[in-house]
Structure 1
Amino acid sequence: MSVTAVPLRPIAKGALAKLWIGVGLAVAVAAGGAYLGTQSAAVANAGTPEQFLAWNAKQAGVVTTASGLQYKVVEEGKGAKPTDSDAVLVSYKGTLRDGKVFDENSQASFPVAGVVPGFSEGLKLMSRGAKYRLFIPPALGYGEQSPAEVIPANSVLVFDVELLDFRSMAEIQAEMQRMRESGAMPGGMPGGR
């Protein structure tokens, strides 16, 4: 049995020091990134509404309107956009910043002007089929007047909204009147006089 010796070249002078400096820099960069990530998460979940909205405004795809509403287009729709004189059919999920769900509905119908200002403003930006994420500041949401215990006062409201359809209130009222007159709706005259 023979042993073959493989000649190893000596390590260049200072190479080991450079290696350790490189390892040290990599650890420092990783620690810095982890610290910044922790700080961002802290602001997102525990900072004031103003701190959260300032942080959120810098996130990819988030747009801030003149009123302070922030939104992110998840999927763009097509066609016209609703106005204050329309009623919408939407699917939505409302959460707090920490992800706690406070309201959800897969087919809700209501007047555009009949909801908090931030939600109404967001609806008017959307076309049929659009999916948006709305970040509603307290001043455009419920402010200090929380409607339920699950929503603390001065909360930023986060809504995932899909605009399924919309129609004008005048059109809806005319159709309801026709249904009442034909007896197809309670409160109308019975048909076949």
Structure 2
Amino acid sequence: MAEVTRVPLQPIAKGSLTKLWLGVAIGILIGFGLAWFVVPQVMATVNGVKIETLAEGVGPNPSATDVVFVRYKGTLDDGTVFDESQDIPLPVEGIFPEGSPLPLDRMLPGFTEGAQKMQKGGKYIMKIPAEQAYGAEPPPGAPIPPNADLTFEIELVDFMSEQDFQGRLQQLQQMMAMQQGLGQQQGAEGQPPAPGQ
């Protein structure tokens, strides 16, 4: 019978096995961490509207009659951008937050449903099926085809009640009227006197 050549095994250095298992454990934890933060978490599905959370918000949710201030981009299934928000440059800071103001009671049914599941400061992807969007009759001239599902990337900057919004709007209008009145008064003071004065 032939004898098997024996290879002497070297002893493992002290602490190497512990380091190896520690490295494996850290690798697994990093993998789970990346999966948790990179993969959007489905937060809710309401009447067919899917909301994925990209970044958690804090605090309460808006109601169906609130005005939300958002930054958003609306796309079709093929990636075509059909609408994108722009911050409204207001003349007085501190009256309205940044973002575009959208009264939820005048929005698409799916948008209103989805926005009520969001929180201030959160970032989301909202997928609205056609029957909760424009259905077979999109707005005339819009780049949205009939029966199109819509996807919105949304950052909910802030929200307030319609009453609060109207009060702040009135306050802003009064401030603008005062500034305009002061500007006209200062302009009139700088004019030369009219003949006969």
TM-score of the pair, normalised by structure 1: 0.60
2:135 is aligned with what amino acid?
G
Identical columns (%)? 38
The CA deviation string for residues 51-73 of structure 1, in whole angstroms up to 9 with x for no partner, is: xxxxxxxx974456241111211
Which residue of structure 2 lines up, in the alignment, with residue 38 of structure 1? none
Which residue of structure 2 lines up, in the alignment, with residue 162 of structure 1? 155
Which residue of structure 2 lines up, in the alignment, with residue 113 of structure 1? 105
Tell me the secondary structure at the aligned position of residue 80 of structure 1: coil
Q: Select the residue among 62, 76, 93 that pairs with 2:56.
A: 76
Q: Select the residue among 62, 67, 71 that pairs with 2:47.
A: 67
1:184 is aligned with what amino acid?
M
Matched, 1:89 2:82: no
Q: How many residues align?
A: 132
1:132 is aligned with what amino acid?
Y
Which residue of structure 1 lines up, in the alignment, with residue 79 of structure 2? 99
Gaps of 5+ in 1: 1-58
Does 1 or 2 have the higher relative contact order (CA < 8 Å, sep 6+)?
A: 2
Q: CA RMSD in A?
A: 2.8
Q: C-alpha separation between the residues in 1 aligned to 2:138 and 2:159? A: 28
Which residue of structure 2 lines up, in the alignment, with residue 135 of structure 1? 127
The CA deviation string for residues 87-113 of structure 1, in whole angstroms up to 9 with x for no partner, is: 111000000011111111143112111
The CA deviation string for residues 1-33 of structure 1, in whole angstroms up to 9 with x for no partner, is: xxxxxxxxxxxxxxxxxxxxxxxxxxxxxxxxx
1:175 is aligned with what amino acid?
R
Which residue of structure 1 lines up, in the alignment, with residue 36 of structure 2? none
Query: Cα 1:142–1:160, aligned 2, differ >3 Å: closer, same or farther?
Result: same
Q: State the Cα distance separating 1:168 from its structure 2 match.
A: 1.0
Which residue of structure 1 lines up, in the alignment, with residue 185 of structure 2? none
Q: Does the CA-based 8 Å contact 2:124-2:154 persist in structure 1?
A: yes
Q: C-alpha separation between the residues in 2 aligned to 1:158 and 1:86? A: 22
Q: C-alpha separation between the residues in 2 aligned to 1:100 and 1:178? A: 39
Query: Cα 1:146–1:179, aligned 2, differ >3 Å: closer, same or farther?
Result: closer
Greater CA deviation, 109-118 or 154-163? Answer: 109-118
The CA deviation string for residues 32-52 of structure 1, in whole angstroms up to 9 with x for no partner, is: xxxxxxxxxxxxxxxxxxxxx
Matched, 1:145 2:151: no
Q: Does the CA-based 8 Å contact 1:87-1:112 persist in structure 2?
A: yes
1:110 is aligned with what amino acid?
L
Query: Cα 1:66–1:86, aligned 2, differ >3 Å: closer, same or farther?
Result: closer
